[in-house]
Amino acid sequence: MDRADRLKLASVLLAYPGDDFPAWLEEAARLAEETADAEVSAAVAALRAMPMAELARCYVATFDMQETTALYLTAHELGDSRERGAALLRLHAMLRAAGLEPVRGELPDYLPLLLEFLAAKPAGMPTEALEKRLGTVCRAIAARLAATHPYRPLFVLVAACLPAQDTDAPSLSPVWDPDAESDALPYPLVYD
């Protein structure tokens, strides 16, 4: 499989494992076998090894209940800072320029949406910075998942498709530092 196919496949497999998911998983397994793609096969096998009900519980516990493995790019980069709103608007504008709209009820920094965007982006559209940011977040999520976690091979696969962040780039920790901004609060926070 080429890079675009891998990213598109990953965007589908990172969706919540609902009613259609078993069919998508079987199609992914068929494609991996046809193309003899070992990394895709490993990612699909890890997901297929778990019963669907258990996989759904694992998905919610991992991506919906844990901030460190959430599926939102700017949440990893900016936390709950004010800059996140502006970043979301910029991502939304980029997606609209490429003819994509966020999934109803999802933010424009939803990782499956951004992976689909990279797989189908118009030729010549500059996305290098976004690709590095996604690569950094996917590597961080993969590192935070246990070696036996069913989604870890999928994040390893995605990270391998994306460039690494520059070594002097900012970390993924939230921008807001309570010690640095304590003087800027509109009122003092004092607890007795």
Give the rounded distance of the alpha carbon of 181 from its chain centre. Answer: 29
Categorize the per-residue pLDDT at 95 as very low, low, confident or very high, splitting at 50, 70 and 90.
Answer: confident
Q: Where are the alpha helices (DSSP H) in 98-182?
A: 111-120, 128-144, 152-161
- Binned at pLDDT 50, 70 and 90, residue 183 comes out as very low
Which residues face 110 on adjacent strands? Answer: 72
Q: What angle do CA 146, 11, 20 make, to 5 degrees?
A: 95
pLDDT of residue 166: 59
Q: Is the pLDDT of residue 59 over 50?
A: yes
* Cα–Cα separations (whole angstroms), residue 54 to 14, 34, 40, 109, 146: 15, 28, 21, 26, 16
In degrees rounded to 5, what are phi and psi of residue 176?
-70, 125
Kindly tell me if the per-residue pLDDT of 173 is higher than 70.
no
Q: Quick check: 103 and 110 in contact, CB under 8 A?
A: yes
